[in-house]
Amino acid sequence: MDFELDEAHLEIQRTVRQFCQDRVKAQARGWDEREEFPLEVVKELGRLGFLGINVPEELGGAGLDAAATAVIVEELARWDGSLALTVASHNGLGSGHIRLFGTDAQKRRWLPALASGERLAAWGLTEPGSGSDAAGLRTTAVRRGGEWVLSGAKTFITQGTVGDVFVILASTSPDKKQKGITAFVVERGAQGFGQKPIHGKLGMRSSDTGELHLEEVVVPDDHRLGEVDHGFIDTLQILDRGRIAIGALGVGLARGAFEEARAYAKERKAFGHPIGDFQAIAFMLADMATETNAARLLVQRAAARCDAGRPFTKEASMAKLFASEVAMRATAKAIQIHGGYGYTRDFPVERYYRDAKLCEIGEGTSEVQRIVIGREILG
């Protein structure tokens, strides 16, 4: 199968690249140092249609496919991993859950404002005591007439403090463990709903991360997404799609590290020659370029299967696993090529290195990906 981009996707790529060169490149370092969420730039992405990538056009979105998501996220990540994570999580997790499992009325209620960037979405699965172990989820939702009462806490939530519309996974049948989880929409300002920022992260520092606290938050039944006790099954589909985006994010970081290191290797001289003339440096660049291209092909394959309506769980996990580990290797080599300068904030490769680590943790750790792949190949 040929994974070369067609003209429509190439035009999307050019648009994002120009936007990043104009609005992101010069500012990303400052956002990172200040842990500043670039709200205005995010809003601009919304006006360009990149916060409603997969939302149907009749609901205000761009109506694009998974391949377009991968192109957009990769290009953003080449310049700023944090911004790419914001776009990936908003589209794939919060908005994505509503788009895939909401009723027509729910989609009309929430998606137009999310697609335009007027409001931001977030998705709440992880808790202080449960990450990979969804069965350990402790947030509860108790039915009370035509309403539900939610109580619990979530942590490491992307868009946790800047978000407006939250998809919260809660236990509705605790005895069923992960098979008794249901999804609900909670909106900013709901009584008993609190948001607290998390600071001091290693990387992705200008992506907003927060804790959510729910103290008997009352939501009507029309805020329930999907069937009761079916939330975890739905979540698996959300994560499959999200792993394509995180794989693309890893590719973007690896590509950024490679392009920065290649440029440096052409300019920096040692022993009277550009350091790229030395085989040790050239071999590192060769490995970076080869692995980055291989990772991109895995991401594109998973996206193509998703767009074709074919099973892609295994392919998404392979793409996410490989791309995230390639990102770590590529960014480490980029720092090595930069030498002592790579260990400073004068060059962006140290930021790429810090950002890349999240790709091995978020949307299911590398260990979880290997479990998923193992199960799939063994049937």
* pLDDT tens, residue by residue, 196-255: 999 999 999 999 999 999 999 999 999 999 999 999 999 999 999 999 999 999 999 999
Q: Is the pLDDT of residue 135 over 80?
A: no
- On the CB side of 285, CA atoms within 13 Å amount to 19
Which residues are designated catalytic? 363
Torsion of CA 44, 50, 51, 52, to 10 degrees: 130
Give the pair of three-digit tokens for residue 206. Answer: 């200008």
Distances from the Cα of 196 to the Cα of 161, 289, 319, angstroms:
6, 40, 33
The mean pLDDT of the chain is: 97
Least confident piece of the model among 1-10, 115-124, 166-175? 1-10
Instruction: State the pairing for strand pair 209-220/193-197.
Output: antiparallel
106-133 in b/e burial notation, b at 16+ Cβ within 10 A? bbebbbbbbbbbebbbbbbbbbeebbee
Answer for the pair 319, 247: CB distance below 8 angstroms, yes or no.
yes
- pLDDT at residue 136, rounded to an integer: 84
Torsion of CA 342, 346, 349, 354, to 10 degrees: 100
186 φ/ψ angles, rounded to the nearest 5 degrees: -120, 135
Give percent of the chain above pLDDT 90: 96
Q: Is the pLDDT of residue 132 over 90?
A: no
